[in-house]
Structure 1
């Protein structure tokens, strides 16, 4: 489910009931600042889950000959040791259960397994509730009709971190803006903090270099934080390109899982 090359199947995307798309917010609202270590770790986690969901979705679609299975309601990604289990969920009335599991190891999807007892654990239910709570509380900036969701344990609390990420079906565009970060309560029902990680949509051409040249890096101005955020790490890992982040009079290089001060 790479953001730059998302499967355009509505049942596999998070479709949020929201007003018409808003390309630019009004006054920038400063976000909660994180340590550099946490920014890097969470950017890597977003990337891990993005890859897992992408390859597992490909495996599921292949298993069902390109047509989403009946009742598909979304997915959650659950850590399983060094691997990740992508649980594709099905809905029957108000009941949500696991229908199909795919284990992703080293970025590769295993077999699609039909789940006989799809009852979700308390933690899995809370994880899914956290995703849906975030989806119901998106802010005024909307940069795509569908948003991808990533849910992770917050290392600094007993709650959940949820990201709603701008998606695109155009592989030549990097969606640099419109991403949200939520801190959700442990039971998945309450928004404790919402941070809008940019103040506008910022769709950036992936290949803007002159003919015959290759793009060497991307550059972005950041006005809601004092430096890079986790989505810069994620997008650098995904695009395999450095991203230079300008914040006030400071310049940072985000190169995969490394952040370097270029000018302070």
Structure 2
């Protein structure tokens, strides 16, 4: 048995904290392992694209958000992503600045939107974001939440994630994230899912042992396997995440998810 995994199992058995102290939350939908990896990677790519496009926009405007900015959406264009910054009213948005982020997640130039009129799909995506934000649950684990909007792979609507974020370099918000199932027109929340039992901020320096990167250790109460947010956090922080779900131990290494339960526990 891998000694590193053994030490992680021991850590899981003794760990406490906010999640352990919560009542067991409602179970959430778990996608297939392959789909979970794909969704987590897509969330990460969209989140990074939006962040880098925002940095480019702020750099162009002396660090200040342009007057009239009401939000943004991200559309995929092959290997690239177009981040569209929006103005106008929330129920009548229009594009005013575009930034194309390439396959290596490098932001291009900030340009005026060639056509301010949004497509029906773009309007629905922005509506879905706002609809989800207005329906966030009572668990609030961060002062700021980042939104990611993707088409539901198993339906006609949208999946919207509200991701607890932080500006502290060594903090990894392991808890507090939400997933929403939103109608195709973006106007109705069909289901809200709280993806953790409570708030749990972890110190990324805990992933180091003896000068080597081992990984962060957590437990999952809402699903029998890792979720797409664990893939996202692993990619964002460039760290493996080990998670105990039920009686199984899982390793999340970027978009790769595998069970690593020691034989004695199978």
Please indicate the TM-score interval, normalised by the length of the shorter structure: 0.7 to 0.9
Cα 1:29–1:48, aligned 2, differ >3 Å: closer, same or farther? Answer: same
- CA distance in structure 1 between the aligned counterparts of 2:232 and 2:113, rounded to whole angstroms: 31
Q: CA deviation at 1:213?
A: 3.0
* Residue 67 (structure 1) aligned to one of 52, 64, 67: 64
The aligned runs of 1:143-154 (5 Å cut-off) are 143-154=141-152
Count of residues paired in the alignment: 243
Contact 1:141/1:199 (8 A) holds in 2: no
Contact 1:25/1:141 (<8 A) preserved:
no
For residues 33-61 of structure 1, what are the alpha-carbon distances to aligned partners after superposition, in whole Å with 9 as ceiling and x for unaligned? 21111111110110110110111111111
Distance 2:210 2:26 in 1: 40
SS of 2:41's partner is helix
Choose from 43, 53, 57 the match for 1:56. 53
- Show the 5 A alignment for 1:85-234: 85-92=82-89, 95-106=92-103, 107-208=105-206, 213-234=211-232
- Give the TM-score normalised by the residue count of structure 1: 0.87
CA contact (8 A) 1:25 1:140 kept: no
**C-alpha separation in 2, matches of 1:112 and 1:90:** 15
Post-superposition shift, 1:83?
0.7
**Paired residue for 2:35, among 26, 35, 38?**
38
Q: Deviations over 1:4-28 (max 9, x none)?
A: xxxxxxxxxxxxxxxxxx9986441
Deviation for aligned residue 1:210: 7.3
SS at match of 1:221: strand
Shift of 1:215: 4.2
Cα pair 2:224 2:246 within 8 Å, conserved = yes
SS of residue matched to 2:147: strand
CA shift in 2, pair 1:187/1:215, >3 Å? same
Gaps of 5+ in 1: 1-21
Cα RMSD between the aligned structures?
2.0
Shift of 1:91: 2.7
Return the offset for 1:224.
Answer: 0.8
Residue pair 2:91, 2:127 contacting (<8 A) in 1 also:
no
Cα deviation, residue 211, structure 1: 9.3
Alpha-carbon separation, structure 2, partners of 1:197 and 1:152: 17
TM norm structure 2? 0.86
Distance in 2 (CA, whole Å) between partners of 1:58 and 1:154 is 28
Equivalent-residue separation in structure 2 for 1:39 and 1:47 (angstroms): 12
Q: Aligned partners of 1:210 and 1:196: how far apart in 2?
A: 29
Choose between structure 1 and 2: higher helix proportion. 2
Q: Distance in 1 between matches of 2:49 and 2:227?
A: 22
Q: Give the structure 2 partner of residue 83 of structure 1.
A: 80
